Structure 1
Amino acid sequence: MYGWIWRHLPGPLVVKIVEALFLTAAVVALLLFVVFPWVEPMLPFNQVTTDPGEPVTVG
Structure 2
Amino acid sequence: MYAALWRVLPGPVWVRILILVVLAAVVLFALVTWVFPWVDSLLGPQEGTVGP
What is the TM-score with the length of structure 1 in the denominator?
0.70
The 1:23–1:49 alpha-carbon spacing in structure 2 relative to 1, beyond 3 Å, is closer
The 1:41–1:18 alpha-carbon spacing in structure 2 relative to 1, beyond 3 Å, is same
RMSD: 1.9
After TM superposition, the structure 1 = structure 2 runs for residues 13-52 of structure 1, keeping only pairs within 5 Å, are: 13-44=13-44, 46-48=45-47
Deviations 1:10-44 (A, max 9, x none): 00001001001001101101111011111111124
Which ranges of structure 1 fall in alignment gaps of 5 or more residues? 51-55
Structure 1 stretches of 4+ moved >6 Å: none
Tell which structure's C-alpha radius of gyration is larger.
Answer: 1
| Greater per-residue helix proportion | 2
Give the aligned length: 50
Which ranges of structure 2 fall in alignment gaps of 5 or more residues? none
The 1:14–1:49 alpha-carbon spacing in structure 2 relative to 1, beyond 3 Å, is closer
Letter in 2 for 1:22: V
